[in-house]
Amino acid sequence: MEKYKHSIPVQLRFNDTDALGHVNNSVYLSFYDLGKTAYFQTINKGEKVEQKDVDIVVAHIDVDFIAPVFLTDEIAVQTRVDSIGNKSFSLKQRIVDMNTGQEKCVCRTVMVGFDFKNNCTKPISEKWRQSIEEYEEHAF
């Protein structure tokens, strides 16, 4: 189960680093965003999905910082869906060194279906569920 079908390289920027000389903790979240956006695009068959058009919001994250990332590292962010409930689903993501395979950071995210018009939670659409199951090659 610790397999990730989805993986994209992350382009590091100089100001991702901080005065400690490595990539700042808060920047990791934008890498996970990058992975999520690309994942959603993939399960939507390559159609670009703008986050503002998606009726899901991040409700919870927890992150283990395992090893620092340096500017000269070549890293990828890997993404998979771990579970789907009625009104939410869970992502597991990690940042790995593409050359050594070293795990740098692991993140679990709970995303919740959200109706921006009525400002309340709503069920995950059947279309999303199907697209995710199809991509992950198993039912949830």
Can you give the binding site for its own copies, defined by CB under 8 A? 10-11, 13-15, 17-22, 24-30, 33-34, 37, 48, 50-52, 57-65, 71-72
Nearer Cβ to its own copies, position 5 or 60? Answer: 60
In terms of CB distance, is 20 or 139 closer to its own copies? 20
CB-neighbour burial class of residue 77 (10 A; exposed 0-12, middle 13-18, buried 19+): buried
Cβ distance to its own copies smaller for residue 26 or 118: 26
Is residue 73 exposed (0-12), middle (13-18) or buried (19+ Cβ within 10 Å)? buried
Cα separation, 20 vs 37, in Å, equals 29
Q: What are phi and psi of 39, to 5 degrees?
A: -60, -45
Least distance to its own copies, CB of residue 26, Å: 3
CB of 44 to its own copies, least distance (A): 13
Minimum distance of its own copies from residue 133's CB (angstroms): 25
